[in-house]
Amino acid sequence: MVFRDVYPEKGQGARRTIVSVAMSENERDAIELAHRYIGEDAYIWTDENPAYGQLAAWWEHEAVPHSEMFQTPEGVNDNQAESFFSRLRRCEYGTVHRIEPKYLMDLANEMAWREDVRRMSERQKLTDLFCKIMKNGLSRWWRGYFQGHHREMELLML
């Protein structure tokens, strides 16, 4: 699942992307992740998947019926989420060729970062990446990878 924080100005796109891997797109996981990542004053736009039907109990929620239209007359759409998934698919087809489930979260986070920084200069991207690396320290998942220390299973609902 993907959460996109969108700039209020039309045409600016998303400013922040948060991804999480779940076993399926279901209501329980959608609500848990929404409570974890979405502020209480947010407006939520989704597609018509039943997993998101109960979000209106906590937030202002509008859904786009994709079987009828790509965007409502009021401008409600989920194009930012679709943009992220398009980038993830292109990465799979054009670069990695096969995504192992145990590395899906890592790849999804990389594509989220690429979406978030795509309008930055190379210098800004490197600065952003360096700050994130220094803030997080050594990776428990990638440290020792080349020595054969590989993760055994996928990371779900992080």
Tokens 């948060």 identify what position? 18
In a domain, 153, yes or no: no
On whether residue 55 sits in a domain, the answer given is: yes
The tokens describing 48, both together, are: 């018509």
What total number of domains does the chain contain?
Answer: 1
Look at residue 152 and tell me if it is in a domain. no
Q: What percent of the chain has pLDDT over 70?
A: 99
pLDDT at residue 109 is higher than 80: yes
What number is the average pLDDT over the span 87-108? 90
The pLDDT assigned to 127 comes to 98
Task: Report if residue 157 sits inside a domain.
Answer: no
> What is the model's pLDDT at position 29?
94
Q: What is the mean pLDDT of residues 98-119?
A: 92
What pLDDT is attached to residue 58?
A: 96
The confidence score (pLDDT) of residue 147 equals 92
pLDDT at 19: 94
| pLDDT score for 88 | 92
Does the structure show a pLDDT above 80 at 11?
no
Residues 19-73: tens digit of each pLDDT: 999 999 999 999 999 999 999 899 999 988 999 999 999 999 998 888 888 888 8
pLDDT band at 158 (very low <50, low <70, confident <90, very high): low
Does any domain span residue 156? no
155 lies in some domain: no
Percentage of the residues of the chain whose pLDDT score is greater than 90: 50
In a domain, 110, yes or no: yes
Expressed as residue numbers, the domain containing 95 is 2-147
SS3 annotation, the chain:
CEEEEECCCCCCCEEEEEECCCCCCCHHHHHHHHHHHCCCCCEEEEECCHHHHHHHHCCEEEEECCCCCCCCCCCCCCHHHHHHHHHHHHHHHHHHCCCCHHHHHHHHHHHHHHHHHCCCCHHHHHHHHHHHHHHHCCCCCCCCHHHCCCCCCCCCCC
